[in-house]
Amino acid sequence: FRLASLTSCSARLSNQIGLHAAVEAAAEFLNKAVKPVMVGGPKLRVAKAREAFVDLADASGYALAIMPSAKGLVPEHHPHFIGTYWGAASTAFCAEIVESADAYMFAGPIFNDYSSVGYSLLLKKEKAIIVQPDRVVIGNGPAFGCVLMKDFLRELAKKIKKNTTAYENYSRIFVPEGKPLKCEPKEPLRVNVLFQHIQNMLSSETAVIAETGDSWFNCQKLKLPEGCGYEFQMQYGSIGWSVGATLGYAQE
């Protein structure tokens, strides 16, 4: 069994025994929860699991959030999308729903000092399923290696029971954002007015490259239309990163 697991990993295939066990354990964990949620992380990209993640969201009915470094990887027009989960810097009402859930599934997360707001997230390990590109950990219990994220999410979608409770709770407390007042002639330009103009410029033909600093937070508030790209980095606070990133992005 151990040899088979190693062979499967090296071939980038899921170990079928481990995959089945992980899916069964996760389904049991989530199906008994009252108000589960799911949160997408940046490793959805490298795992090539974005489509499988959305399919699971469709099948489950769970409230759907993203970590800040996963913005642009999950469609924000999804009917159960509730915004960015970033602790105290979260989209309005998002943290309340995620942190009050009795089960949360994080797909491809990176928990560092930036993404966790100084390790201040109010999450409990025993309530979490952590899905990495080739590993699944369920609460304080079992861990399953050689299980590819995209395979796990696809199979889990077949076993999960629909539960829209968390999203219904979000809908009850959600208050739409107000629009900023228009600037008067010769009045200094305000940030909220500037970003209203940026929002109106976004389309499926555009991409946002967010610079380190205030733009980290302001750009998270943008509502990305379908097909709009989004890039920023949270592994290090490198001011000026967006210049090289823009040149690189233009080559794609």
* Residues 14 and 112 occupy one common structural domain: yes
Cα 16–Cα 34–Cα 136 angle in degrees, nearest 5: 25
Rounded Cα–Cα distance for residues 220 and 231 (Å): 11
pLDDT above 90 as % of the chain = 70
CATH number of the structural domain spanning residue 41? 3.40.50.1220
pLDDT-derived band at 6, boundaries 50, 70, 90: very low
Query: Is residue 237 assigned to a domain?
Result: yes
Q: Are residues 152 and 28 in the same domain?
A: yes
Q: Per residue in 12-60, pLDDT tens?
A: 899 999 999 999 999 999 999 999 999 999 999 999 999 999 999 999 9
Going across the sheet that includes 135-138, the strands are 81-84, 63-66, 37-40, 104-107, 128-132, 135-138, 143-145
Picking from 152, 165, 168, the residue whose alpha carbon sits closest to that of residue 36 is 165
Give the mean pLDDT of the chain: 91
Residue 185 lies in a domain: no
Is pLDDT larger for residue 67 or for residue 250? 67
Q: How many domains does the chain have?
A: 2
* H helix and E strand count, the chain: 9, 9
Residue 249 CA to residue 252 CA, distance in Å, equals 5
Asked if residue 234 and residue 164 are part of one domain, the reply reads no
Buried b (16+ CB within 10 A) or exposed e, 78-96: eebbbbbbbbeebbebbbe
Query: Quick one: pLDDT at residue 24?
Result: 98
Tell me, yes or no, whether 52 and 128 share the same domain. Answer: yes
- What does the pLDDT read at residue 108? 97
* Lowest mean pLDDT, pick from 43-47, 149-153, 154-158, 207-211: 207-211
**Do 20 and 126 sit in the same domain of this protein?**
yes
pLDDT at residue 7 above 50?
A: no
List, for residues 231-246, the tens digit of each pLDDT value: 988 777 788 888 888 9
Provide the residue range defining the domain that includes 230.
Answer: 191-250
DSSP state of 121: -
179 falls within a domain: no
Indicate the pTM of the whole model. Answer: 0.86
* pLDDT tier at 3, thresholds 50, 70, 90: very low
157 with 51, same domain: the answer is yes
Q: Is residue 184 one of the residues assigned to a domain?
A: no
